[in-house]
C-alpha cells in the first residue's frame, strides 16, 4: 500500500537538501508527486524513468523539427512532461533508496542533450515552414549557448588534472602552487570582487532565463502562435523567430561575460582547491 500524498512528500523530501530550479519548486513538484504515487504501484524504477525522459525528449524534438504548429505544440508538451518526470525520478529514488552514480549519470545525460535538441529542432522547424535561413543560426546559438559552456569546461579541466596529479603524486605541490595564485578558495566568481557580484547576479537571473523556464516560455509562445494563426494579427512564426533571435544573442553575450569572469578570476584553480578539500 502506497502512502498518502502528504506522507509521500515527507518521505521523498524530508532528507533532501539539494537546491532545485525555482520552476520545479513552484510548479512541477506540485504535480510530480501524483505521478510518483501512480508509478509506485508498478515495478518501474528511478533509472527507468530517467531513460524515458531521454527518449521522450528526443521524440518531442523530432516532432518539433517538422515545424507545423500542431507538431510544435505536441513536441513541446512532451518535453514539458519530461520536466515533471525529472522530479519523479528523484522522488522514486528517495522513496525506494535507489540513489546511485549511474542514476546521476543518466540524469546529467538528459540535461546535456535536452536543451540543445529543443532549440535546434525549434529553429529547424521554423526554417522548414518559413525558409528563413537566419533562424537556423539563431537556433544554433540557442542550442550551443543557452546552457553554460564555461562551467562544464572548468569541471572537466579540474577532474582531468586531479586524476593526473593523483597518479603522479603531485596534488600537494599543485595545492601549494594554486593557493599562492588564488588565496582563499572561492569558486563563485573567482578571486575578483566584480566577478563574485556578477556570479551572484547571474545565479539569480539564470533561474528565470535557463532550463526549465525556457521550456515554459517556448510552450507559451507556441500557444500564442496558435491564437495568432487563428486571428492573424502578425505573420505566423514571427514570435518564435524573434524569441530565438533575442534568446540566442543574449545567451552568447552571457557566456562571453561568464568566460571573462571565470578566466580573470582563475576559477579553475579555486575549484581545484575546493574539490580537493571537500574530498579530504
- Kindly list the structural domains of the chain, giving each domain's residue range(s) and its CATH number in brackets, ordered by start: 5-279 (1.20.120.1760)
Structure confidence at residue 185 (pLDDT): 67
**Which position has the higher pLDDT, 137 or 265?**
137
C-alpha cell at 195: 566577478
pLDDT tens string 225-250: 999 999 999 999 999 999 999 999 99
Structure confidence at residue 189 (pLDDT): 65
Backbone φ and ψ of 275, nearest 5°: -65, -45
Indicate the pLDDT class of residue 130, thresholds 50, 70 and 90: very high
Structure confidence at residue 174 (pLDDT): 83
**Which position has the higher pLDDT, 262 or 41?**
41
- Local structure of residue 99 (DSSP, 8 states): -
Is 278's pLDDT higher than 60? no
Structure confidence at residue 60 (pLDDT): 98
* Helix, strand and coil in the chain, % to nearest 5: 80, 0, 20
Mean pLDDT, rounded, of the chain: 89
**Which position has the higher pLDDT, 62 or 186?**
62
pLDDT tens string 90-102: 999 999 988 788 9
Structure confidence at residue 54 (pLDDT): 97
Structure confidence at residue 18 (pLDDT): 66
Structure confidence at residue 48 (pLDDT): 96
C-alpha cell at 99: 540513489
Structure confidence at residue 177 (pLDDT): 83
C-alpha cell at 157: 579541466
In this prediction, what percent of the chain has a pLDDT beyond 90?
60
Indicate the pLDDT class of residue 193, thresholds 50, 70 and 90: low
Q: 235 near 131, Cβ under 8 Å?
A: no
Owner of C-alpha cell 536543451? 115
Amino acid at each position: 500500500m502506497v502512502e498518502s500524498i502528504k506522507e509521500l512528500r515527507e518521505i521523498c523530501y524530508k532528507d533532501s537538501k539539494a537546491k532545485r530550479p525555482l520552476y520545479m519548486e513552484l510548479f512541477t513538484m506540485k504535480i510530480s508527486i501524483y505521478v510518483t504515487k501512480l508509478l509506485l504501484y508498478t515495478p518501474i524504477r528511478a533509472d527507468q524513468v530517467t531513460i524515458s525522459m531521454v527518449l521522450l525528449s528526443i521524440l518531442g524534438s523530432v516532432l518539433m523539427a517538422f515545424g507545423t504548429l500542431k507538431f510544435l505544440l505536441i513536441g513541446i508538451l512532451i518535453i514539458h512532461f519530461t520536466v515533471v518526470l525529472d522530479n519523479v525520478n528523484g522522488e522514486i529514488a528517495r522513496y525506494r533508496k535507489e540513489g546511485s552514480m549511474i542514476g546521476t549519470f543518466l540524469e546529467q545525460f538528459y540535461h546535456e542533450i535536452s536543451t540543445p535538441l529543443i532549440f535546434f529542432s525549434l529553429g529547424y522547424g521554423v526554417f522548414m515552414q518559413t525558409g528563413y535561413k537566419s533562424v537556423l543560426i539563431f537556433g544554433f546559438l540557442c542550442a550551443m549557448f543557452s546552457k553554460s559552456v564555461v562551467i562544464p569546461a572548468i569541471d572537466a579541466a579540474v577532474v582531468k588534472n586531479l586524476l593526473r596529479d593523483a597518479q603522479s603524486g603531485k596534488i600537494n605541490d599543485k595545492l601549494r602552487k594554486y593557493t599562492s595564485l588564488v588565496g582563499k578558495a572561492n569558486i563563485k566568481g573567482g578571486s575578483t570582487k566584480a566577478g563574485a557580484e556578477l556570479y551572484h547576479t547571474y545565479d539569480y537571473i539564470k533561474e528565470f532565463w535557463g532550463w526549465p523556464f525556457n521550456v515554459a516560455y517556448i510552450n507559451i509562445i507556441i500557444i500564442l502562435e496558435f491564437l495568432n494563426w487563428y486571428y492573424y494579427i502578425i505573420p505566423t512564426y514571427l514570435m518564435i523567430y524573434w524569441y530565438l533571435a533575442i534568446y540566442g544573442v543574449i545567451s552568447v553575450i552571457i557566456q562571453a561575460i561568464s568566460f571573462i569572469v571565470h578566466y580573470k578570476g582563475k576559477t579553475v584553480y579555486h575549484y581545484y582547491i575546493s574539490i580537493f578539500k571537500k574530498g579530504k
